[in-house]
Amino acid sequence: MRLIDFISKRDRYLSFPWMATAGLQLSGYTLYDVYLSPQRQLEVAQRMNQEFNADFTYPMDDGAIFVETLGLPLLKPDFDFPSVLENPIKTTKDLEELQVPNPYSDGRMPLNLKALELIATGIRKPLSLSIQGPFTLAVELVGATDFVRAIIRNPDFIEKVLDFTNQVVGDYARATVKAGTKFICISEPTAVILSPDRFEKMVAVRLRALYNSLGPGVWKVLHICGDTRFLLPHMLECGAEGLSLDQVMDLSSIIKKVPKNTVILGNLDPIYVLRELSPEEVRAKTLELLRSMKGYSNYMFSFGCDCTPDTPLNNLRAAMEASRTRIVDL
């Protein structure tokens, strides 16, 4: 079954919200309390499912799993996601000193796979997972400024880095599918810096191969932050069944330009709306977004990006309750 078949012909729009750090508020655990315990991963996912009742389940987001396993130094807050402190890969020799991690033995990857197995069997909803894409991982390894310079000055080096990161992400993604993941969203926020031609050569070609390697039974989604109108034709050719779009995008105009079998996800503002407004205002903004999508069966409700760790839980509840409004009642 394709993603479009799963979400269409229903009396309401399905929802896939980005709000994993809300699980830390609900549980009182720190981020690594959860990361280091598959049982706590399951506990938090169950609590999130009870509180917000989304149409998919998902573990705590773990965008740093690749850079951490590869040994990059990280800043590790208790209640927010880790961030890279250094970008050490500057030459081909540096790259050759890295090894592609084995998802079943290296770093926290085996713990994550165990957590996915527990969640997939413990909650009767499709298990979704968001992972960092190969291009964004490559920029993390090299550093944004050096990466952009090397695109011009040392393209062979960039190709080698991208080949490496594609294997890192692909090996892990395939392992997560075996663990029970049904819905994979590859996040390539850094790809917004590329021209359409470079996006096709550096991102789209590799994503097509990666998505294809996951098999036909997995729902594949692509997320890129920012204004991606200029990349949209190439995003549609990446092999994804769905596109997750940032809050700056006007979905009511975008959805008219995509094939009816491509799912569009988005794009309630996680900052101005979810964090700053009252629950009543969040509900109104959610309904406004849903009404703008009325008539499009290939739409799925989501946020423009992950909500912040300090987002009020009552605002999230308001958004999720409003998202379950029947289409005929909008």
**Region 73-98 average pLDDT:** 96
The average confidence (pLDDT) of the chain is 96
**Region 244-271 average pLDDT:** 96
Among 75, 59, 79, 56, residue whose Cα is nearest residue 67: 75
pLDDT at 220 over 90: yes
Domain ranges of the chain: 3-329
Distance of CA 323 to the CA centre of its chain: 20
What is residue 20's predicted lDDT score, i.e. its pLDDT? 85
Among 159, 226, 158, residue whose Cα is nearest residue 192: 226
What is residue 264's predicted lDDT score, i.e. its pLDDT? 98
Q: Write the pLDDT tens digit of every residue in 112-122.
A: 999 999 999 99
Lowest mean pLDDT among 18-22, 27-31, 79-83, 201-205: 18-22
pLDDT at 58 over 90: no
What is residue 136's predicted lDDT score, i.e. its pLDDT? 98
Surface-to-core class of residue 102, CB atoms within 10 Å of its CB (0-12 exposed, 13-18 middle, 19+ buried): middle
Q: Which two tokens stand for residue 206?
A: 């590799």
3-state class of 30 per DSSP?
Answer: coil
- In Å, how far are 53, 64, 178 from 325, measured between CA atoms? 13, 35, 34
How far is Cα 23 from Cα 29, in angstroms, rounded to an integer? 8
E-assigned strand segments in the chain: 74-75, 83-84, 128-132, 183-187, 219-224, 242-245, 263-268, 299-303
Pick the CATH number of 3-329 from 1.10.10.60, 3.30.70.1230, 3.20.20.210, 2.40.40.20: 3.20.20.210
**Region 220-247 average pLDDT:** 97
How far is Cα 311 from Cα 330, in angstroms, rounded to an integer? 26
pLDDT at 96 over 90: yes
What is residue 325's predicted lDDT score, i.e. its pLDDT? 98
Lowest mean pLDDT among 16-20, 22-26, 301-305: 16-20
What is residue 183's predicted lDDT score, i.e. its pLDDT? 97
What is residue 271's predicted lDDT score, i.e. its pLDDT? 96
pLDDT at 68 over 90: yes
What is residue 9's predicted lDDT score, i.e. its pLDDT? 87
pLDDT at 87 over 90: yes
Q: Which two tokens stand for residue 238?
A: 């990446």
pLDDT at 215 over 90: yes
Percent of the chain scored above 90 by pLDDT? 97
pLDDT at 190 over 90: yes
